[in-house]
Structure 1
Amino acid sequence: MYTGRNAYLLVEKKLFFFLWLFPSALFGQQLNELVSLYQHKFKESEAVIINSESEYEFDLVENKVTIKEDKSQKLLSLRYNTFINEVEFYDSNSDIEEFSCESSLNQKSVNSDRVCGNYTNSEYFFDDNKFCSHKLKLQEAGEIWKTHLSKVYNDSKYLTSVYFHDRYPIINKRIILKIPLDIEVDIREFNFEKFVVKKYVTPEGRFRIVEYSISNLSAMENVRLGRSIQFIYPHLLILVKSYQSEGEKVNILSSLNDLYGWYRSLTRQLSVQPEVFAPLVNSILKGKMTDDERIGTIFYWVQDNIRYIAFENGLAGFKPDEAHSVFQKKYGDCKGMANLTKEMLRYAGYDARLSWIGTKRIKYDYSIPSLAVDNHMICTVLLDGKKYFLDATEKYLPLGIVADRIQGRQILIEDGENYILEKIPEGSKENEMELRQVRLSMESGMLVGSYKYILQGEKKRNFLFGYHFSSGSTKDKLVKNCLIDENKNMRVNNIQLSDLNQRVGVFEINTELECMAAISSFNNELYIDIDISKDFKNWIVDENRESDIDFGEMIYKVLEVELELKDGDSVLFLPEQLKIEHEEFSVHAFYVKEPNRILYKKRIVIENGVISKDSFIQWNEAIRKLTQHYGSQIILKR
């Protein structure tokens, strides 16, 4: 006897098996049952992919390895009279040869019906991504759309990864790689641990066939503070390492030496015209005597005067723009800005070098020779045994400080025909502190006093960047939101900002604070709330969420409050200490009674800026305790 969930799964399996074997024979009640099951299971999806198969065939064409992708899939509609877009992307290194769709209700969208064009991600000013799209009408629930794609990658280096998930749920998925025996391909498997992935490797004539299959995948999430999909979803990293030609092995990307060699082949194509920027360099370095002054002056000039625009444009996604061109245009991507920084510093007499790096959004490191391992370029200066890591895309970041997104990451530094592989140092969490210091007293049923908000490191940089790129009224709103968020029970007056152009040191905002609803009285007892920030209150995470929480930076929030007591005030109750320690986060909050005052200190730290899915239960328990702590107040007798 099957009951509950087991019965549900049994019905689903039977119906799907019948559909898979006899798609044209599934009518009426059976189809309705299957649609009803999937509508219940995938409430947010317009369709479900009941079967998807992608084959990648590798070939050697004119001493270059190419890859042909053939993808066929069946989409089962779960909606009525709804339009969806079936989209495929390509670029200058790939071509879509055929892309067509046909439904069980005699609807068609053939290859000539596709709409193609340039695709610009909101993060980019210009890129080389293109798309082809079919607009499909889901005429009724139960309609089945068959889609077919034929796509060619003209250079195997640019097919770096293959994912199993899709934007729709998938019932069955197969990925097949057809690899000639004379082409060496290394397939790296990532994030398989929590999934049941079947793998088969079989010989077939002059080919090695590698097949993966997986079932019952949810749709890819699009969530706030989502981590890079490289950390979340199962996927394959495709490394085409070499091929045989006339009995000789020809390396493509078989090692880091090959990857660096290819990068260097691009940078060696760059021309250098220092005469274009030499007058400017000479001018801004006048009176600058120390190395730190001279290096910092050039670094800051590039930060302040070159607009950062991300590019994705074929080889330009990997090849830096000429330094003189970036200087003249006054904009560039990370590679162009790194190259301009390098050439200006070299003109000034410093040993400056281009350096490749993968930010924390990248799961991989340089043990894997792939174009997928890095996504950023900076400039490194070697001087007297010290290395200066200069990322001019990070506006308002001072010399000697690196952004959180590259701290702890491997960096590949050019060194002629060789390279230097090092790791960017981790920053101190104390240098990333967001500190609020408040001194309060009780007047006319309110809490009033002084409030100092102190930022440093990346927090300071982010504030300055947001402030300088905001308009007048938006600047005021930004400052107030930093101080009191949108709390209508608080008011700030006489706001004073420290030097908005000073990169080095801390940044301070000083203001007067009024808390209008922080004191309640009952029977000569005062109930007082002195926590003005209440960070992460009710910040419960959906435990069914697939992605880790990624804040994009270290979290280190500190609140220090001093409440002045009047003569005759007696403390009846102070909230208990809260102390939570976890390997990914910590929370500590406590009150101390001293003569004529009460001190309160709270510290919340998420050192790596990530809460992993495995820690959601512990995180939610911590948040419940923290929220309960916020509801506990000081009680005074007056």
Structure 2
Amino acid sequence: MYLRSLLLLFLVSSTSVFGQYAVKDIPETLTKGVSTVMRNQETILTLKDFNSTLVSFKEAITVFNKDGLNALRTKVGYDGSSSIKNMEAKVYDANGVEIKKFKKRDFIDVSATGSSMYSDDRMLYIEYTPTSFPFTMEFAYEMRSSSTAFLPRWEPVPFYSMSVEKSSFSISNEKAIPIITRKFNLDAFETSVAETPTQYEYTIQNVMPMEKEALGPYYTKFAPVVRIALEKFQLENEEAYIKNWKDFGMWQKNTLLKGRDKVSDATITKINNLVAGVQDPKEKARLIYQYMQDKTRYVFIAIGIGGWQPSPAQEVDELSYGDCKGLTNYTKALLKTQGIDSYYTIVYAGEGGQDIDEDFVALQGNHVILTVPFEDENVFLECTSQQAPFNYLGDFTDNRKVLMVTPDGGVIGKTHTYKTEDNLQTVTANVTISPTFEVSGKIYETSAGILYGNKNLLETAAKDDISMYYKRLWGHLNNLALGNIDFKNDKEKVLFTESLNFETDNYISKAGDKILLNPNIITRYKDLPATEENRKLPLEIRRGSTYRDQIEILLPEGYTIEAAFEPIEITSEFGTYKASVTSLEGSKIKYERELVLDSGTYPKEAFNKYVAFIQQVVKKDRSKIVLAK
């Protein structure tokens, strides 16, 4: 009876449910300084069985300016196991008068991944260009699905600079199917919560907008979120019953991976010949990884049991391409030919460093890598890259929890952490100032750790792109001319070396017969955040790094240092900065600089202290000396 009443309420006209969305009806406190207001959002998830769901969704958003257009929901995806019904969108003007209506037949049906991808995912969408602001769009649909591995999550504050009048999330579970829930930060937003074995209700109202803050934590650490999953679920036509990560790994191994690690006898012979005479298993793995990189390329594929099953290794071997799942499984199969164990490993990829949530046993992750266990370490292989060194992850998948599918089931592990001293950039330069005060010289720069990943793609970049890169990097060097650019990519040591000649003019300031020179010619710190007086979130510096410069400068004949800054040393809880200039024999001087930025999480009150430290660094990087005859 309750469910029937709830659905009836949901499906009645927008006039009786929402009113007409007049902008004047929005509480004034929710409109100050925002781009959008969530007027109302309703999600009703009906669990008919472990393999049957109905999602009824309706959302109305008022948009005040073009910056808020990205918040509009104008599309919805589906696949072979789902169908969309009762889909429509309506547009209202500032007075709440309906000015446009889209029915399901007006939505455009396209591949969700583009024409060049291998996927059976589809998308229905509309295009709407507003003629004036503010306006309100209401978007609604119903979706039925037989795949229940991924259930909708509730994120009632989905965007920065968006306030929320009301958002609700209801789960109807009349069969009391076992559900896993994971809730974040609900109390902080005064969320109304009502939970029984057959009914779950979450409601939030009158939420002020959250502003994006520099170097803040991952959103589940501060935003309201509810995630749900079923212990027993269906992924397309495959059933699963999972109570822990060990169960999950066994299901993944026996259902999605089993029998897909075979390669031909001819390929086995190739691999045998490749590693002939090599005794060290890790060196064998390195050679096999390089073989895979040289042979294959990445192509996105989202077919096969909900896009979660990898292509067979033999297919990847024959076609020489695959996605992260297929290439990882293929590499695993090649290693297996030499008796080297490896684990198919699920991860959240991206610079933000999201962990697999250990307390939420469900399908997670957006990427797959390979773990190769050795006695001294776990080696991690990024199988989609043709350039990545052996056992190098970079900031794409570093320092985060992952799920390894081992022979004994799923195991939560963690990828490599790159320490502050590992992420090292070293610059050495020999510079000459001509009698007419042009500056020229030779620069050598090496990058390691995370910083290697910021540089190594220069090796394959186009000439014009390389030139543009340096001119942006060294924008303080006027009329910069470059020559003899050379790169050395040492994949074994994971070191990238750049060497080049440069010339620049108008770098030096003249004051009568004296010269003003900033000896810090190469490396300048430019990422200067603004202070935040009402900071709400902790400061999170995910990765530390170290920068060292040593520059020898040959002065014009007869010039020496008349005045120079004293050696600089700044120490803070966030790192250290040192700089000095000294005279050498003849007309040479030497400039040395070291900046160490430490990783760490700090309370919100520390943010402006961090800004003050960086401001000092930026200021000291501009320190000048006086040269005179």
Same fold per superposition (TM over 0.5): yes
Q: 1:369 aligns with which of 361, 364, 374?
A: 361
Change (3 A) 1:443 1:549: farther
- Aligned partner of 2:242 in structure 1 is 253
Q: Is the 8 A contact 1:181 1:208 kept in 2?
A: no
Q: Is the 8 A contact 2:248 2:409 kept in 1?
A: no
Matched residue of 1:617: which SS?
helix
Matched residue of 1:631: which SS?
coil
1:95 pairs with 2:83: yes
- Aligned partner of 1:16 in structure 2 is none
Q: Is the 8 A contact 2:181 2:360 kept in 1?
A: no
Q: Is the 8 A contact 2:77 2:121 kept in 1?
A: yes
Which whole-Å CA distance do the structure 1 matches of 2:78 and 2:29 have between them? 31
Which whole-Å CA distance do the structure 1 matches of 2:473 and 2:135 have between them? 54
Matched residue of 2:105: which SS?
helix
- Aligned partner of 1:285 in structure 2 is 275
Q: Is the 8 A contact 1:55 1:175 kept in 2?
A: yes
Q: Deviations over 1:102-144 (max 9, x none)?
A: 453364322333222222279x944444322244565665765
- Aligned partner of 1:115 in structure 2 is 108
Q: 2:181 aligns with which of 157, 178, 187?
A: 187
After TM superposition, give the deviation of residue 296 of structure 1 in Å. Answer: 1.3
1:589 pairs with 2:578: yes
Matched residue of 1:326: which SS?
helix
After TM superposition, give the deviation of residue 574 of structure 1 in Å. Answer: 1.0
Q: Is the 8 A contact 1:92 1:314 kept in 2?
A: no
Q: Is the 8 A contact 2:313 2:329 kept in 1?
A: yes
Which whole-Å CA distance do the structure 1 matches of 2:322 and 2:303 have between them? 13
Aligned pairs for 1:143-292 within 5 A:
145-159=137-151, 161-166=153-158, 169-180=163-174, 182-192=176-186, 195-201=188-194, 203=196, 207-216=198-207, 218=209, 230=220, 233-242=223-232, 252-264=241-253, 265-270=255-260, 272-286=262-276, 288=278, 290-292=280-282
Matched residue of 2:422: which SS?
helix
Q: Which amino acid aligns with 2:191?
A: K
State the superposition RMSD in angstroms: 4.1
Q: Which amino acid aligns with 2:459?
A: Y
Aligned pairs for 1:537-616 within 5 A:
537=526, 539-541=528-530, 543=532, 555-564=545-554, 569-574=560-565, 577=568, 579-582=570-573, 585-596=574-585, 598-608=589-599, 616=607
- Aligned partner of 2:381 in structure 1 is 390
Q: Which deviates further from its counterpart, 429-438 or 293-302?
A: 429-438
Q: Is the 8 A contact 2:214 2:529 kept in 1?
A: no
Scaled by the length of structure 2, what TM-score is found?
Answer: 0.80
Which whole-Å CA distance do the structure 2 matches of 1:512 and 1:354 have between them? 45
Q: Which amino acid aligns with 2:451?
A: K
Which whole-Å CA distance do the structure 2 matches of 1:429 and 1:79 have between them? 42
Q: Is the 8 A contact 2:356 2:401 kept in 1?
A: no
Which whole-Å CA distance do the structure 2 matches of 1:269 and 1:277 have between them? 17
Which whole-Å CA distance do the structure 2 matches of 1:242 and 1:506 have between them? 48
After TM superposition, give the deviation of residue 534 of structure 1 in Å. Answer: 4.6
Q: Which deviates further from its counterpart, 605-614 or 250-259?
A: 605-614
Q: Which amino acid aligns with 2:502?
A: L
Q: Which amino acid aligns with 2:623?
A: S
Q: Deviations over 1:239-276 (max 9, x none)?
A: 32359xxxxxx983321122212211211142513325
Q: Is the 8 A contact 1:564 1:598 kept in 2?
A: yes
Name structure 1 gaps, 5 residues minimum: 1-18, 244-249
Name structure 2 gaps, 5 residues minimum: 1-13, 234-238
Which whole-Å CA distance do the structure 2 matches of 1:328 and 1:273 have between them? 9
Aligned pairs for 1:459-478 within 5 A:
459-468=451-460, 470-475=461-466, 477-478=468-469
Which whole-Å CA distance do the structure 2 matches of 1:190 and 1:128 have between them? 33
Which whole-Å CA distance do the structure 2 matches of 1:483 and 1:422 have between them? 37
After TM superposition, give the deviation of residue 300 of structure 1 in Å. Answer: 0.9
Change (3 A) 1:347 1:482: farther
- Aligned partner of 1:69 in structure 2 is 55
After TM superposition, give the deviation of residue 34 of structure 1 in Å. Answer: 5.2
Change (3 A) 1:159 1:601: farther
After TM superposition, give the deviation of residue 288 of structure 1 in Å. Answer: 4.3
- Aligned partner of 1:408 in structure 2 is 399
After TM superposition, give the deviation of residue 326 of structure 1 in Å. Answer: 1.0
Q: Which amino acid aligns with 1:96?
A: I
Q: Deviations over 1:542-582 (max 9, x none)?
A: 84899999999654333222335676724423166252534
Q: Which amino acid aligns with 2:613?
A: A
Matched residue of 1:156: which SS?
coil
- Aligned partner of 1:443 in structure 2 is 434
1:325 pairs with 2:315: yes
After TM superposition, give the deviation of residue 406 of structure 1 in Å. Answer: 3.0
Scaled by the length of structure 1, what TM-score is found?
Answer: 0.79
Which whole-Å CA distance do the structure 1 matches of 2:603 and 2:122 have between them? 34
Which whole-Å CA distance do the structure 1 matches of 2:521 and 2:252 have between them? 51
Which whole-Å CA distance do the structure 2 matches of 1:72 and 1:542 have between them? 39
Q: Is the 8 A contact 1:174 1:213 kept in 2?
A: yes
After TM superposition, give the deviation of residue 539 of structure 1 in Å. Answer: 2.6
Which whole-Å CA distance do the structure 1 matches of 2:262 and 2:58 have between them? 49
Q: Is the 8 A contact 1:414 1:420 kept in 2?
A: yes
Which whole-Å CA distance do the structure 2 matches of 1:68 and 1:340 have between them? 37
- Aligned partner of 2:10 in structure 1 is none
Aligned pairs for 1:39-78 within 5 A:
41-42=32-33, 44-45=35-36, 48-60=37-49, 64-76=50-62, 78=64
How many positions carry a matched residue from both structures? 593
Q: 2:372 aligns with which of 377, 381, 392?
A: 381
Q: Is the 8 A contact 2:107 2:124 kept in 1?
A: yes
Change (3 A) 1:39 1:235: closer
Which whole-Å CA distance do the structure 1 matches of 2:338 and 2:516 have between them? 64
Q: Which amino acid aligns with 1:406?
A: T
- Aligned partner of 1:623 in structure 2 is 614
Which whole-Å CA distance do the structure 2 matches of 1:210 and 1:187 have between them? 12
Aligned pairs for 1:443-522 within 5 A:
443-444=434-435, 445-468=437-460, 470-475=461-466, 477-478=468-469, 480-481=470-471, 484=474, 487-498=477-488, 500=489, 503-522=492-511
Q: Is the 8 A contact 1:432 1:457 kept in 2?
A: yes
Change (3 A) 1:529 1:141: closer
Q: Is the 8 A contact 2:112 2:122 kept in 1?
A: yes
Q: Is the 8 A contact 2:347 2:403 kept in 1?
A: yes
Change (3 A) 1:133 1:423: closer
Q: Which amino acid aligns with 2:397?
A: I
After TM superposition, give the deviation of residue 92 of structure 1 in Å. Answer: 3.8
Q: Deviations over 1:451-487 (max 9, x none)?
A: 211123443355333432x334445555x45874584
Q: Is the 8 A contact 1:454 1:506 kept in 2?
A: yes
Q: Which amino acid aligns with 1:381?
A: V
Which whole-Å CA distance do the structure 2 matches of 1:435 and 1:339 have between them? 37
Identity %: 16
Q: Is the 8 A contact 1:39 1:78 kept in 2?
A: no
- Aligned partner of 2:11 in structure 1 is none
Which whole-Å CA distance do the structure 2 matches of 1:174 and 1:426 have between them? 39
After TM superposition, give the deviation of residue 229 of structure 1 in Å. Answer: 5.1
Q: Is the 8 A contact 2:56 2:141 kept in 1?
A: yes
Q: Is the 8 A contact 1:537 1:627 kept in 2?
A: yes
Which whole-Å CA distance do the structure 2 matches of 1:378 and 1:240 have between them? 26
Which whole-Å CA distance do the structure 2 matches of 1:158 and 1:279 have between them? 41
Change (3 A) 1:277 1:466: farther
Change (3 A) 1:628 1:383: closer
Q: Which amino acid aligns with 1:532?
A: I
Which whole-Å CA distance do the structure 2 matches of 1:87 and 1:513 have between them? 50
After TM superposition, give the deviation of residue 178 of structure 1 in Å. Answer: 2.6
Which whole-Å CA distance do the structure 1 matches of 2:558 and 2:16 have between them? 86
After TM superposition, give the deviation of residue 319 of structure 1 in Å. Answer: 1.5
Matched residue of 1:561: which SS?
strand
